[in-house]
Amino acid sequence: MSRTPYIAANWKMNKTVAEAAQFIDTLLPRIAATQSDVVVCPPFTALAAVVERRYGTAVKVAAQNMHEEESGAFTGEISAPMLVELDVEAVVLGHSERRQFFGETDEALARKVPAALAADLEPILCVGESEEARDGGETEAVLERQLQTDLAGVDPVALSRVVIAYEPIWAIGTGRVATPEQAQEACACIRDVVRLRGAAADQIRILYGGSVKPGNAAEILSQPDVDGALVGGAALDPEDFAAIVEAAG
Ligand code: PEP
């Protein structure tokens, strides 16, 4: 089955509103002909500006995190209805930087993924192993454990609306990209786990993330189970990001 490629730009804590607007204005003409889903994940402060600029284009906008409750005493947090009100369509959940630096747990993700789906936000769920786990031959076990917990509350039909990003921690922001074979193996493993949950595994988009650049994107994206990329560093430059979108075909 052919799946529409999905290329997402994770800006992390980068870009002011003015810089975000400039990026979008440069990017849009460069990707006008793409058939892929192109997603931009700005910091919260730039979401509205990016949403405003992409109206009438194929670009979707995603937040980088959200809280599972709709409202309440959670200082500093943002909820799904707040994102939906801005016309944000998707949300990154479980990025390894949130797991590593901000105490994001699989148990919290088990609440966040259904909350996003209930609000009609497309979750981009990130999973991935540490270097120690890979060296210890535990990659598949780690992926299975994360997916089983994070997706525990999602029924098989809703599961086909989740985008899953395989992001090996050792490849994120390090310049050390997984080989196309490693990316393929891990994405195939993720598809198998999803299939065992009874979901339409052939429909689910599974992305690779970790030091994707214009020079290595095409080879990684040509793998049969790699349906797109979640791009950090190289997504800060609109020309580089456009080149990665082009590599997806
Ligand atoms: C990311 O932040 O999700 C990521 C993959 O970053 P980078 O492309 O810089 O490795």
Name the residue at shortest CA distance from atom 8 of ligand 1: 232
- As a whole number of angstroms, the distance between CA 249 and CA 176 comes to 24
C-alpha pair distances (Å), 236 with each of 33, 52, 69:
21, 19, 31
Question: What pLDDT, on the 0 to 100 scale, is given for residue 46?
Answer: 98
Band of pLDDT at residue 199, cut at 50, 70 and 90: confident
Q: What percent of the chain has pLDDT over 70?
A: 100
Question: What pLDDT, on the 0 to 100 scale, is given for residue 125?
Answer: 98
- pLDDT higher than threshold 90 for residue 198: no
C-alpha pair distances (Å), 178 with each of 35, 55, 216, 241:
26, 35, 10, 19
Q: Which atom of ligand 1 is nearest to the CA of 212?
A: 8
- Catalytic residue list contains 167: yes
Name the residue at shortest CA distance from atom 7 of ligand 1: 232
Q: What is the pLDDT of residues 204-243, one digit of tens each?
A: 999 999 999 999 999 999 999 999 999 999 999 999 999 9
Task: Read off the pLDDT of each residue in 194-198 and give the average, rounded to a whole number.
Answer: 91
Binding site membership of 212 for ligand 1 (Cβ less than 6 Å): yes
Question: What pLDDT, on the 0 to 100 scale, is given for residue 200?
Answer: 87
Residue 195 C-alpha from the chain's centroid: 20
Q: What is the pLDDT of residues 40-86, one digit of tens each?
A: 999 999 999 999 999 999 899 999 999 999 999 999 999 999 999 99
CA-based radius of gyration for the chain: 17
